[in-house]
Amino acid sequence: MIVPIEIRQSPTRRYEITIDPLPELRFDRKVAIVTNPTVAPLHLERVLSRISAPQVEVIEVPDGEEYKSMETVLGILDRLFETRFDRSALLIALGGGVIGDMTGFAASLYQRGIGFVQMPTTLLSQVDASVGGKTGVNNKWGKNLIGAFYQPEAVYIDPAFLETLPEREYAAGIAEVIKMAVMFDREFFDFLERSDLKDPEVAKEMIARSVTLKAEVVNQDEKEAGIRAVLNYGHTFGHVIENETGYSRYLHGEAVAIGMVMANALAVELGLLSPEEAGRIERLLERWGLPTRYEIEDAEAFYQHFFLDKKSTRGSIRFILPGGEIGTHTIRGDLDPALVKRVLERFGAAG
Ligand SMILES: NC(=O)c1ccc[n+]([C@@H]2O[C@H](COP(=O)([O-])OP(=O)(O)OC[C@H]3O[C@@H](n4cnc5c(N)ncnc54)[C@H](O)[C@@H]3O)[C@@H](O)[C@H]2O)c1
């Protein structure tokens, strides 16, 4: 199956997202595959067997969010210089979102920009991170604060990569899928509730539907001036939780799961979402063993943390909430801080 992506604001940026077993790929230029020591032993051999190119280099970088840094990207660039790659070279990101974000960013920088291809190997990166051209790294000020919008030439999503993915990582990816359904597609949410998402055929359909929704959003709004912000549902809260817990207790998707429950509590308080609909979302998250509770120690401090997010603009926080029911959304930048803090307090020990 192929999902075409066409960024409408810049008609030259067209590429395809292929959701199928990895095809034979022929390149008439030098290729460097960027991967890590977890993914390489599991999948590199098969990927290499599918690629023909005049020269294929493998660049391994350490595994982990803590290595998603400028230093690692500079290391990738160094290897490209050492191997005398020129501007026609191509990078292939083989790994999860961390590898994809760094490889894309390195591609945007090398000699002012070379091509790159995404081969996402986690569910989260297949349904979300590999689509849409956000690339970048973390620094001491926060996550993804250095980066570029830089679109790949193609995305190859092979669901077979997921066979080796730990259960917990799979569930974290499901959280992003649920996010997409709650924001945009009620029928898709019903599908997620009633289907066996571990079944490979069902999983493929789930990935395709998720990617199609994300592609549609990115096509309209590559640089997040409007609708793309809706993809941050659960993230405004989730980022604070990740930050408060030192990025170590929760996987990103897990923090987003709690964040969605918090956003829903706010939406219920505002009369936007019924408690029944909020309950449905929570039950689906729990079915995947995703966390839905987090004890906020200090609601005021939690609230102030929102302002560290790069998405809070000029002192106002934009909350992404379910609109009136599952499958709809609303963006609210006008909420009374006292009301928000009251909802946060309910997540405290006394709440
Ligand atoms: N660019 C975007 O639009 C976007 C969107 C969402 C998230 N992200 C970023 O993505 C990152 C999270 O991505 P992630 O959840 O894929 O994490 P990850 O890249 O850290 O991968 C999770 C773990 O799974 C391992 N792994 C990868 N594929 C595997 C496989 N097939 N079998 C076994 N193990 C495998 C990885 O080596 C790693 O240890 C974050 O840095 C986040 O900021 C980016």
What pLDDT tens digit does each residue of the chain (351 aa) get? 888 777 665 545 788 999 999 999 999 999 999 999 999 999 999 999 999 999 999 999 999 999 999 999 999 999 999 999 999 999 999 999 999 999 999 999 999 999 999 999 999 999 999 999 999 999 988 889 999 999 999 999 999 999 999 999 999 999 999 999 999 999 999 999 999 999 999 999 999 999 999 999 988 888 888 888 999 999 999 999 998 998 889 999 999 999 999 999 999 999 999 999 999 999 999 999 999 999 999 999 999 999 876 666 567 799 999 998 999 999 999 999 999 999 999 998 766
User: 212 CB under 6 A from ligand 1?
Assistant: no
Residue 15 contacts by C-beta under 8 Å, 6 or more apart in sequence? 4, 5, 151, 152, 153, 154, 155
CA–centroid distance, 320 to ligand 1, in Å, is 24
Tell me the sheet residues that pair with 92: 33, 117
Residue nearest to atom 12 of ligand 1 (CA): 97
Q: Dihedral angle at the C-alpha atoms of 204, 26, 59, 6, nearest 10 degrees?
A: -50
User: 60 CB under 6 A from ligand 1?
Assistant: no
Cα–chain center distance at 263? 18
CB contact burial 108-132 (16+ within 10 A = b; e otherwise): bbbeeebbbbbbbbbbbbbbbbbbb
Q: Which amino acid, one-letter code, is at 314?
A: R
For residue 1, what are its two tokens?
Answer: 């199956």
Contact between 44 and 35 under an 8 Å Cβ cutoff? The reply is yes
For residue 328, what are its two tokens?
Answer: 């709809």
Residue nearest to atom 42 of ligand 1 (CA): 97
pTM for the predicted model, two decimal places: 0.94
Pure H helices in the chain:
39, 45-50, 70-82, 97-109, 123-124, 167-184, 186-194, 200-220, 235-244, 252-269, 275-287, 299-305, 337-345
User: 68 CB under 6 A from ligand 1?
Assistant: yes
User: 63 CB under 6 A from ligand 1?
Assistant: yes
For residue 246, what are its two tokens?
Answer: 């030192």
